[in-house]
Amino acid sequence: MRVIYRELLNKAKEEEEMMNELTVKQSDFCLFYIETGNASEAYRRAYDAENMKPETVNRRAFDLMENSKIKARIEALRAEHRKEHNITVSDILNKLEDIYSEAMKKGNLSSAVSAVMGQAKVLGFDKQTINLEGDIKPLPTVINVTFSDEPQEENFVKKKSSITFII
């Protein structure tokens, strides 16, 4: 009994130390990430990102996910979540396989397809990738610059010269 108590006490101390190393917003980010599974959404919820461009939010969320302290906290939260709910990826895949089998027996093809798509999502196969192949050349950029020595008068410019740059 003392060994279990000591382990729990040590775990509580480790979690407290980890929490003290993170700011409140970083800690909130970790919790929101566990909740949503989306780093950008977690960033928007934890930080004042209302006036930020989506690219900025994405970059800052990525930077947070690269932070070793945040990675450790997220992994600790995941482990705690797995232990609390006692569920694994294998459990989820098995349940989806059961759903697929039942759907096929009953002739419910849409449910069967949904189960297969669920398996693909759990395994990470649902990510869309675009591969560009072939001879891909950049398009030329044309910049027209017009110089004038005198001010413009209604649709008339005197001593006008023009240069075209092709990049």
Q: How far apart are the first and last CA of the chain?
A: 76
The first and second tokens of residue 13, run together, are: 């101390």
- Domain residues of the chain, as ranges? 2-85, 89-123
Residues with Cβ within 8 Å of residue 87, at least 6 apart in sequence: none
pLDDT digit string (tens) for 11-24? 655 655 555 689 99
Cβ burial, residue 70 (10 Å; 0-12/13-18/19+) = buried
Provide the b/e sequence for 102-140 (b: ≥16 CB within 10 Å).
ebeeeeeeeebeebeebbeeeeeeeeeeeeeeeeeeeee
Q: What pLDDT, in 10s, does the model give residues 136-166? A: 777 777 776 666 666 555 555 455 555 655 5
Alpha carbon 132 to its chain centroid, in Å, reads 23
Specify the higher pLDDT residue, 158 or 135: 135
Identify the pLDDT of residue 69.
94
Cα–Cα distance measured from residue 111 to residue 102, given in angstroms and rounded to the nearest whole number? 9
Higher pLDDT among residues 156 and 67, named by residue: 67
- Per-residue pLDDT tens over the stretch 78-118: 888 877 777 778 888 899 899 999 999 999 999 989 988 88
pTM surpassing 0.75? Answer: no
pLDDT tens string 19-38: 568 999 999 999 999 988 89
Contacts of 94 (CB under 8 A, 6+ apart): none
Q: Is the pLDDT of residue 4 over 90?
A: no
Q: Determine the pLDDT at residue 151.
A: 59
Answer yes or no: is pLDDT of 9 > 70.
no
Phi first, then psi, for residue 107 (nearest 5°) are 75, 20
140 or 55, which is more confident? 55
Angle at which helix 24-36 crosses helix 39-46, to 10 degrees, equals 140
The mean per-residue pLDDT over the stretch 57-84 comes to 91
DSSP labels, 84-150? HHT--HHHHHHHHHHHHHHHHHHT-HHHHHHHHHHHHHHHTTT-------S---PPP-EEEEEEESS
Predicted local confidence at residue 136, as pLDDT = 72
Give the CB-side neighbour count of residue 71, counting CA atoms within 13 A.
Answer: 6
pLDDT reported for residue 153? 57
